[in-house]
Amino acid sequence: MTSKLSKSLHIAPMMGYTNRHFRYLMRLIAPQSIVYTEMITTGACLFGNQATLLAFDKAESPIVCQIGGSNPQECAESVKIIESYGYSGINLNVGCPSSRVQQGSIGACLYLKPKIVQSCIEAMSDVTQLPITIKCRIGVNDLDDYKTLLNFVQMCYDSGVKCLQLHARKAILNLSPKANRLIPPLNYQYVYNIQNDMPECNIILNGGVNTLDTVISSIGKVSGFMVGRAAYQNPWLLRAFDSYISTFNNCESTDRDRFSRRDNTSERIKVVDDYLSYAESQYKLGVSSRVLLRPLANLCHSLHHAKRWRHTLNNMMQTNTIMKDKECLLQCLVNQ
C-alpha cells in the first residue's frame, strides 16, 4: 500500500462515524481515497464479535484497520485476525487523548512511552506483511519539542513504519477530545519539517484539513492528507480534495476554480443513486434505515435546499422507505 500513499487522501478513523456504511459513501465520493475503520481495541478484536467489528464490503478497499493497544502480544494476535479479513493495512492509534482511552494505556499517552510503541510495531511486523502505520500527535503535554517528535518518527521508521499520519496539534491529556481539537494550536510547520527531514517516509498531514486552500498550500510539502470531521460535516468537499490530489499526481492543470466551482449536480446524483442501491441491499439484510441513511445527512451542506434534503431523509428514516422515496430525495439535488 505504501506505493499508493504519495499525495494521497485519507479518511480519518472517527469513533461513531467511520462505520462500514459511511466508508462506502466515502468511496463513492472520493474513489482515490484510503478509508479507515473506527478504532478497534485489541481486547475487542480478540474477544468481541469479530464479524461485526471487522466485516466490510470489498468496494471499500483499500481500507486500513485502526487498532488501539499497548501489549505487543495482543497487538500481534489482533493483526493476524485483521489480516484474515482482507484489510490493506494496520494503523496503531497513538493520538487519541480521551481519558477512557488513556485508562487502557492506549492512544496519545503512548507517545510518552516510545519503547512500548516500538515493541508493538516489531511484534506486529513479525506476524504480517501488511504495512503498519502510526497516527499520532506532534507532541503530548509539555513534551512538544521538535527533536522529540523527530526522534519518535525516526524510531517508528526504523522499526518498519513507512507512513505516519501526524495530527498537527499536540495532545493535552487532561483535556477532553473536543478541547484537544480546538485549544492546542495547529503547527503545520512541524509536519512539513518532519517530511523534509525524512523524505523517505510518507508523512500524512492531519488536523484542520477542511478547505481546498489548505490542500493546495500544503500539497508539495507532505505525502498526503488525512481529513477528519470535515468528512461528515461536509462530505462532498472530499470530492474536490480527491479530484485535486489525483490531478496533481497526474501532472495536469491544478487550477483551483476547476475544482471548487464546477457544476457537479450530476455527479452528486450518481453518488446518491449508487449509495441508495447499496443501502437498500443492506436494509434487506436487517440494517436499520436510520443507520444506513445517516451518512447522507450533510451531503447538501451549504446548498440552497439543504433543509429540504434533511427533512426528506428524516422522513425516509422514520418510515423505512429507502427506494420508495428515492426520486423525492434526488429531486432535492436537481432543484439546487
pLDDT at 335: 65
pTM of the model: 0.92
Planar angle of CA 235, 236, 241, nearest 5 degrees: 100
Q: Which grid cell sits at 93?
A: 492509534
pLDDT at 334: 79
d(CA 115, CA 283): 46
Q: For residue 75, give every residue at least 6 positions away whose Cβ sits within 8 Å of its Cβ, in sequence order, or none.
A: 42, 67, 69, 92, 120, 123, 124
Contact assessment for residue 38 and residue 18, using Cβ atoms and an 8 Å cutoff: yes
Encode the chain (336 residues) as per-residue pLDDT tens digits: 333 445 699 999 999 999 999 999 999 999 999 999 999 999 999 999 999 999 999 999 999 999 999 999 999 999 999 999 999 999 999 999 999 888 888 999 999 999 999 999 999 999 999 999 999 999 999 999 999 999 999 999 999 999 999 999 999 999 999 999 999 999 999 999 999 999 999 999 999 999 999 999 999 899 999 999 999 999 999 999 999 998 877 655 555 555 554 457 899 999 999 999 999 999 999 999 999 999 999 999 988 888 999 999 998 998 877 877 788 888 888 765
Residue in 196, 258, 202, 184 with CA at minimum distance from that of residue 221: 196
Q: Which grid cell sits at 200?
A: 523517505
332 is catalytic: no
Q: For residue 63, give every residue at least 6 positions away whose Cβ sits within 8 Å of its Cβ, in sequence order, or none.
A: 23, 34, 35, 36, 37, 56, 87, 88
pLDDT at 120: 98
Q: Which grid cell sits at 106?
A: 492506549
- Residue reference for cell 497513538: 94
pLDDT at 7: 61
Which of these is catalytic: 96, 136, 163, 332? 96
Contact assessment for residue 310 and residue 319, using Cβ atoms and an 8 Å cutoff: no
In eight-state DSSP terms, residue 83 is: H
- Cα 202 from chain centroid? 16
